[in-house]
Structure 1
């Protein structure tokens, strides 16, 4: 008889201080996306090619205390209407690195778009951000992620290798302070 999956895990070896994304995703960073100062993006890569998109801790968004909402209608595309089907995720909206995933709109009338920073297809946007936009500010690398994207293995690996590692990101951010 085979041991159950729970019996095969040594619960004493789990680092409970790490989040799910810290354990299963490799974080990479884009500084000054689209040439905009402190428009810093965090992409979290999973080994299965899934990529979570969020804002990096150094993004100018985190310095603004104004009220905001997340709008997934950008240009003439409604990202909320994205529908994928099946194992191959057919039907996902095509993305290029400059494609805007959403717009963050402040009550004072200012706004900015969040680019996806990689080629691939949109699998899903985090609809919870429409109801609870504060998740983006509180948990950007967990429940506050903006979107889930998928790319080919070659594009995913190349993009991951081009972007800043957490160590390089910290050095770059520290040098600009």
Structure 2
């Protein structure tokens, strides 16, 4: 689960090591994609170019509340058109969620970084991906051709780990 039933990430799911990892990673990308409920809430957030996924517009529009953001309705424009509108034609893109946004990119990820806090329970919470909890997040990622790499401990006391799930390249 990545949020509670109200689509809010509770403080119980916020760990300093994870926040640092996330913030440092976002400082290195060229573009961030997220839904209307997702955001980073960090000092550098206003400086980052972003695409906000929404169904409230027909295709593409500037975000009236953020000059560095483009609003994108996937039903009315391609992702490539949204990137072009955002002024990003190459580089690294971070997809930070929520679940509908993650699902749209499942077959396009080079790497998905899965953070897990095994001691936190969010009954009736919002799952990271469609198919959870019937499938584990790991099963969902593997079903899309991603394979787990070596995990990195972010908070030893709480058992918080982030694991890179990388695209398995098909060879002929």
TM-score bucket (shorter structure): under 0.3
Whichever of the two has the greater Rg, that structure is 1
| TM-score for both structures, normalised by structure 2 | 0.26
- The structure richer in helix per residue is 1
